[in-house]
Structure 1
Amino acid sequence: MLEPNFSESQLQQAVNSAFIRLIFEERGEWVFANVPSLFDEFVLGWDSAFYFPWLPHPALEEHEGCNFFIQYKLSCELTTRGAGQWNDWKEPYLRFKIPHSTKGPDNRHQDDYHQWERLKELANKNYPTFYATNSTLKKENLKEISKDGSLLCKTPFLDVRDITQLHKYVTFTETSDFFLLHSEIEKSPRLGNDFIFERLRETRKASMSESNRLLYESLKELAVNDESWQVDLRQISDSLSSGSDVGKVWLVRSLLSGFIGRHIGAQMFWYPGRG
């Protein structure tokens, strides 16, 4: 098994910087990469997170006000026929492990899926939640593709929202356009930044009426334990159900914007699409 000659934190720093660079080039905005302490990461589940104001997902206060999440994993390369997943690829492949290894009460190593469970909670609410891993084992190559602006294109991203089962390993090859998730085989698209941002662009082009509904549903989930949120949301619910003409849609949009300003302290942006 061949291991990369750089750390997970090195990959994290490079990819975070690439996201900041990309957003600035595309939108002229500087975004901030939130990186929690190791203690906080255990609670949150992610390594890095951003707040992108154009997404229809409200900022999550308990997740440092973010709505886009990344967990970084280092992949090693397996090159021999005796490797665990060789028969699935029949060629050298890269692999990372989803659970952490921890020592149990009997002092034996066991798989800990706590981090995965936190990520899946976010993904189940439809928040953009990704594993990001390396496609190279050499730090010099990582530096080169960071410098020439192609790092995000060459970084494999796995959308946690696409995963339906519990798995231990994720495998892929340098040229594959998909991942295999093991033990029970599940196939999932391998996403580069083009795919990720295309998904975000598609979301951004949703009609205002549909965006209002999705945002309301997300806020409703967050309001379970807050009576003041529930009172304000009832007014929005009444307006949502009262009609779909242009005036009503804009009224709901205004109510949602005011709600987010009062309860979350953020501004709501909407970029017109079709419908």
Structure 2
Amino acid sequence: MPVDRVISVIIVNFNAGPILTDCVHSVFASTVPVTVYVVDNASQDDSLSVMDNRVHILKNRENMGFASAANLVLPLVNSEYLLFLNPDCLVRPDTLARFVNVMDSHPQAGMAGCLVRNVDGSEQAACRRAVPTPWRTLVRICHLDKLFPNYCQNFELHRQPLPKHPIEIEGISGACMFVRRSALDRVGPMDEAYFLHCEDLDWFMRFRAHQLKILFIPDVEVVHVKGVCSHSQPIRVLWYKHRGMVRFYRKFFRDEYPFLLFWGVIVAVWLRFFLSVISYPLSVIKRRFSS
């Protein structure tokens, strides 16, 4: 079967509201041909009610999580490139064309990410990163990078100067992943055991294990209106995030770290979760008084 040069854009929706329409419209304004798939995880809002009739919609009866929902589209498409895009991301007309040009010129690259900006124009922290190994996570949680900046580095790279050209990197933003289909077929789809968060980190590890490069392209940009789909269930999202991190560590690093260090990091992850739950009501009150 011939490979299709039309880019398949896969968007998983859960109560994204009006921003989903803005996201879809921005994709259809691309300078290259696209096919858009929206997989809806049993949304309770009206985000699908005004959807463009060109969109292929798959409706789930329950919230299946991100990886499971995104993987549903894979048997339906034969595109050379796929874009996994969050419903609260806005692309530029030339975003996808630029992705294609870079990937065409880097045949060893399995996927690429870009400069992901907040609404205020700042770079998002997860835009470019190293893999959050247990040690790097411990450095971040304990702020060791601030105490010993010459010896300890965490996994966030967004404070470093932007490169001038595409570079190989360990991790990009899961909100916008441009993937070569032949590479995906080699590596396999995202691990559906992750419900939300860390399935992208898992994928990065597996792509690199297959000697497939992950590129960060600094002159390609999207805007990510972060948190739109998670604002109604913040504690639940925190739970899935921390549970996913523990699964990620156990899957890839359990045998690579000393017993005490590894399980110390696991304890620290869950302690961080419980502290976040306890402090959440106070943060809500603070935001209300400051607004």
Same fold per superposition (TM over 0.5): no
TM bucket, shorter chain: under 0.3
Q: Which has the larger radius of gyration?
A: 1
For CA contacts below 8 A with separation 6 or more, give which structure has more relative contact order.
2
Report the structure, 1 or 2, having the larger helix content.
Answer: 1
Normalised by the size of structure 2, how large is the TM-score? 0.26
